[in-house]
Amino acid sequence: LSNCRTAQKVSCLILLHTTSDTLMRETCLYPLPEPHDLFQASQMKFEDFHKDLTRLRKDLRACTSEVEKVCKVSDEDNFLCSLRFLELTIFFSVKAKAGEKEVTPNTLFCIWHEFSSDFKDQWKKENKIILKERLKAAEECFRQAKEKASYSVKPKHASGIVSFLFFPHQAQHKKICLFI
């Protein structure tokens, strides 16, 4: 075993020495596969590899048939979308920009983007105004309900032994007898 290791080290040194002149530069790549990759390759089983390839081929066939279906449908959808887009540009009277032959989606949606941004800003402002008006109306309704339901509370005059002992200036002059 030690002879094999020694022979292996010697062959590595010879290989390193012969390749060092041409391969040992700043931009050079390691000339052999990475040791970790070789270890992973040694763990591979061809039966598992064959099963995986068979499964992948089957999946590829299924994907290919799906792609063909989608392409057929998308060609029809693309045509319909083009027609609807043309109808939309005619309905909104959108004209092509100077130098362009026809209205592009970019032209139409840039206009819509500007409109939508302005509309959203105005919508937010209007909602704030409406909310303030509703708040004022609710406050007014609450104030009116409070005025209608107002009632007076008269303080109760103190009476009894507690008022006589603790609040003599408020108590009515009564004679109280304490029985002890």
Helices assigned H by DSSP within 92-104: none
Please name the residue that has the structure tokens 């103190």: 158
Residue 86 CA to residue 102 CA, distance in Å, equals 10
Structure tokens belonging to residue 106: 């970019």
Query: How many other C-beta atoms are found inside a 10 Å radius of the C-beta of residue 56?
Result: 10
Q: Where are the domains of the chain?
A: 1-44, 48-93, 103-142
Contact 170, 163 (CB under 8 A): yes
Structure tokens belonging to residue 91: 């309905």
pLDDT tens track of the chain, all 180 residues? 445 456 666 666 565 566 555 555 556 677 788 888 888 888 888 898 899 999 999 999 999 999 888 888 787 788 888 888 889 888 888 888 888 888 888 888 888 899 899 999 999 999 999 999 999 999 999 888 888 876 666 666 666 666 666 666 554 555 554 544
Contact 89, 104 (CB under 8 A): no
